[in-house]
Structure formats: structure tokens, C-alpha cells
Amino acid sequence: MRAMNNIALTLLIVGGLNWGLVGLFNYNLVDALFGNATWISRLVYTLVGLSAITSFGLYARTADRERY
């Protein structure tokens, strides 16, 4: 489970950096590396989205720890 959390966090960081590049410079790193709308770029976006869903559980556990 810890490995999955680390992978999810890493993918969220990559996704966040990509969105930062899009917002600041209109440069999409995922599309630049894998092509626009290829199956690989769609896979990367899907994995980042699944990582975000996984993070809801991490957030809930962190909130429980801070309460006590």
C-alpha cells in the first residue's frame, strides 16, 4: 500500500508540474514527450486522475491523525 501511495504522489507531482507549465508557458510536457492525444499520453492523464482519486484516502487519513 505504501508503494501505491508513493506512486500516486509522484504522478500527482508530475501532473501538477505539467499543469504549471501549461498555465505559465502554454507548454504541455506530456504532449511534447508522447504526442498529442496518443494512447500513451491518455494513459498518463488517466493514471494522474486515478492518483488524484487515491489521494482522497490519503487526505482523510492525514486529517484523522491531525485531529488526535
pLDDT digits (tens, 9 = 90+) for 4-30: 888 999 999 999 999 999 999 999 999
C-alpha to C-alpha distance for 11 and 13, rounded to whole angstroms:
5
Distances (CA, A) of 46 to 17, 32, 40, 42, 62: 16, 17, 10, 6, 25
High-pLDDT (> 70) share of the chain, %: 93
pTM of the model: 0.78
Q: What pLDDT, on a 0 to 100 scale, did the predictor assign at position 68?
A: 59
The pLDDT score that the predictor gives to residue 65 is 72
Average pLDDT, the chain: 89
Query: How is the chain split into domains, by residue range?
Result: 2-67
C-alpha cell at 13: 507531482
CA distance 1 to 5: 6
